[in-house]
């Protein structure tokens, strides 16, 4: 069992930056793949980025070169550094976890077992 708590959301102007944190408690997060998803108003929840237990990462095309995911296993925390933010990045951002010892990094909502409550990111134009 893993509990996830997101923080770091807020209001930022276009071109600005935010760093989101996902703190995991319970079983050690180092054995889990951790992902960030987002859900904009009236939209489906979509994959943003993920990091596997071995540090491998994946990014959605829409955020490549702007967002960076990282993890600090000692702190059981995963970070999402978001730069050059755009109004279309406005959404509730969720972190998610699944126990995984494989090299494959999941990117679909249904592949993740544990979810945080979400944190709002609003980018003004």
Exposed, middle or buried, 63 (CB in 10 Å: 0-12/13-18/19+)?
buried
Question: What pLDDT score was predicted for residue 28?
Answer: 66
Sign of the CA dihedral running 119, 69, 63, 96:
negative
Question: What pLDDT score was predicted for residue 31?
Answer: 80
Contact 47, 108 (CB under 8 A): yes
Contact 33, 91 (CB under 8 A): no
Low-confidence ranges of the chain (pLDDT < 70): 27-30
In 1-125, beta strands by DSSP E: 2-7, 10-13, 18-26, 32-39, 46-51, 57-59, 67-72, 77-82, 91-99, 114-115, 119-124
| Listed residue (68, 81, 76, 74) closest to 26, CA to CA | 76
Question: What pLDDT score was predicted for residue 6?
Answer: 97
Question: What pLDDT score was predicted for residue 111?
Answer: 95
């Amino acid at each position: 069992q893993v509990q996830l708590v997101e923080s770091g959301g807020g209001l930022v102007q276009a071109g600005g930056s935010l760093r989101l944190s996902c703190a995991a408690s319970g079983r050690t997060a180092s054995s889990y793949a951790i992902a960030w998803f987002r859900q904009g108003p009236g939209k489906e929840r979509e994959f943003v980025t993920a990091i596997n237990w071995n540090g491998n990462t994946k990014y959605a095309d829409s955020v490549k070169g702007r967002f960076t995911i990282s993890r600090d296993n000692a702190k059981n925390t995963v970070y999402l550094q978001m730069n050059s933010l755009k109004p279309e990045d406005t959404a509730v951002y969720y972190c998610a976890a699944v126990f995984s010892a494989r090299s494959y990094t999941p990117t679909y909502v249904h592949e993740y077992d544990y979810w945080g409550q979400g944190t709002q990111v609003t980018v003004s134009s």
